[in-house]
Structure 1
């Protein structure tokens, strides 16, 4: 519904309410005169009853606390029912229209008359009490602010699809896989008696599973004190360490622990040392 249609609807509603108030005002004025009100009081009496109904309706729309809203609805219902009863009595008693009714007489049956007079005279006092309470509740009302989660949800709902597409975060950059390390051929010295044209032994470096992040320069204290050994130096250390070992103890695991090297190099050293011992045994037999 556009703004012009809403304005027209509100104008029609105000006109209908104004005409309804004029009809009710006539009945309530005659009832007020019947219970002893003077001309000015009788003219203002309808504003006391129907005016509090309008105030209770506004308070119901403004207040958000469940208890306050329930109180405003009860006041609205009570004064609506009271106005309906007094308008009904005004229609049943024709003497109220011509001002010929006795003072304080709204019904022929005495208990009903007492109840109606009590109702009509208590409405102004109730308007003072309930009206002041409703005004105080409206003035002290603090609207509840939405939480951060509600604000975020409402903001996402209000944003259009192009905005969501433009503000979408960029996907993370793919990390390039490290290149595979090619195997490196290491020429170890040949044992005595082995042909010189034998194929060199290949030592394959371990493949890196994930890239290693740079953590900065390693302190001097944390660096290893053992220098990098060549293949010749590694073989000499293995010969010295295993010189008195029997052939049964000449395994790759024991050699690796003795010279502190990798498992791959330890197997290479084991094969070399076994070949040397085999060649030395054949020479001694010859």
Structure 2
């Protein structure tokens, strides 16, 4: 949705809510006068009830989980209370002219007591619930679920070159336990110990000789066994051409390819290309 329609929609909503507040403000002001509020208090009374409804609605859009459910309960409670007081204002015509008795909202005493209790408790509830909602909104921290989804999506959308080389897994080396030496210092030998022969020191070889030996490659010695040799006799180019000519005698020109000749006469790709050129030249001649 474009920005201009959104702006018009929000402005229309503000106008409708403002007109609805004006209608409700008249009824709540008369109810506040009936329960003993002065002129200034009666004027501010609708802002206490309907204003908290607007605050709870904004809190539901920001909060999550249990805090959001609490804001929804506050919104539903004050919406129902405002609806009841507007309904009472419509049922009691004396409230319109402020000629009703002080503290009298209904003829039946239990109903009148309940209505007066409701009307007088709404300002106190606005202080408590409004402060709690504001504190919850200020201390609210958005969950990182949305950011994590965006991160995973961005990583999956990147090419392999952008993601970089994968981290190699650590190599696990099978550690062979080294046997611990046996301490024989405190054991009494039963047999006479033979003296160890002296080890003559090996003269150190120069670094150039070691490097030359390491670079030098060993050549294969000995003859190749007969089993490892190929049993197919080596064919001359004339014999290969004769076999290819006999095998491709009934082939059309489109099937005369180097790959097919290579598979038929069992030769290398380079020789197959030479045979193909020779056969094509013979057919052209």
Place the TM-score, normalised by the shorter chain, in its bin.
0.5 to 0.7
Matching of residue 87 in structure 1 with residue 86 in structure 2? yes
Per the alignment, residue 49 of structure 1 pairs with 49
Gaps of 5+ in 1: 170-216, 232-261, 269-286
User: Are the structure 2 counterparts of residues 265 and 50 from structure 1 closer, same or farther at C-alpha, using a change threshold of 3 Å?
Assistant: same
Tell me what 2:102 maps to: 103
- 2:126 corresponds in structure 1 to 127
Please tell me whether the aligned partners of residues 155 and 163 of structure 2 are also in contact (alpha carbons under 8 angstroms): no
Any stretches of 5+ residues in structure 2 without a counterpart? 165-209, 230-285
Residue in structure 1 matched with residue 167 of structure 2 by the alignment: none
C-alpha deviation, 1:167, in angstroms:
6.8
| Match of residue 15 from structure 1 | 15
Residues 241-269 of structure 1 deviation map (CA, whole Å, 9 limit, x = unaligned): xxxxxxxxxxxxxxxxxxxxx7x26999x
Deviation at 1:144, TM superposition (A): 1.8
Distance 1:30 1:136 in 2: 32
Q: Give 1:23 deviation, angstroms.
A: 0.2
1:28 aligns with 2:15: no
| 1:1-286 matches, cutoff 5 A | 1-64=1-64, 66-146=65-145, 149-155=148-154, 229=221, 264=225
Q: TM-score, normalised by structure 1?
A: 0.57
- In 2, Cα distance between equivalents of 1:227 and 1:57: 87
Q: Secondary structure at the match of 1:98?
A: coil
CA distance in 2, matches of 1:2, 1:165: 35
C-alpha contact (below 8 Å) 2:27/2:85 kept by paired residues: yes
Q: Spell out, residue by residue over 1:107-139, the C-alpha distance to the aligned partner (whole angstroms, 9 max, x if none).
A: 000000000000000000000000000000001
Q: Which has the larger radius of gyration?
A: 1
Q: Is the alpha carbon distance of 1:70 and 1:3 closer, same or farther for their aligned partners in structure 2, counting shifts above 3 Å?
A: same
1:151: how far off? 2.3
Judge conservation of contact 2:24–2:86 (CA < 8 Å) in 1.
yes
Task: Quote the offset at 1:228 in angstroms.
Answer: 6.1
Summarize the Cα distance change of 1:230–1:140 in structure 2 as closer, same or farther, 3 Å threshold: closer
1:180-205 superposed Cα distances (whole Å, 9 cap, x missing partner): xxxxxxxxxxxxxxxxxxxxxxxxxx
Aligned residues between the structures: 184
Q: C-alpha separation between the residues in 1 aligned to 2:128 and 2:21?
A: 22
Structure 1 residues 220 and 136: CA distance shift in structure 2, 3 A:
same
Inter-partner Cα distance in structure 1 for 2:84 and 2:61: 25
Structure 1 residues 148 and 229, CA, compared in 2 at 3 Å: closer, same or farther? same
- What is the CA-CA distance between 1:155 and the residue it aligns to? 2.7
C-alpha spacing 1:220/1:69, structure 2 compared with 1 (3 Å): same
1:219 to 1:34, Cα distance in 2 relative to 1, 3 A: farther
Q: Give the whole-Å Cα distance in 2 for the aligned partners of 1:267 and 1:8.
A: 88
Provide the C-alpha distance between the structure 2 equivalents of 1:58 and 1:85, rounded to a whole number of angstroms: 23
Pairwise CA distance, 1:150: 1.4
After superposition, the Cα gap between the structure-2 partners of 1:40 and 1:166, relative to the gap in structure 1 and judged at 3 Å, is same
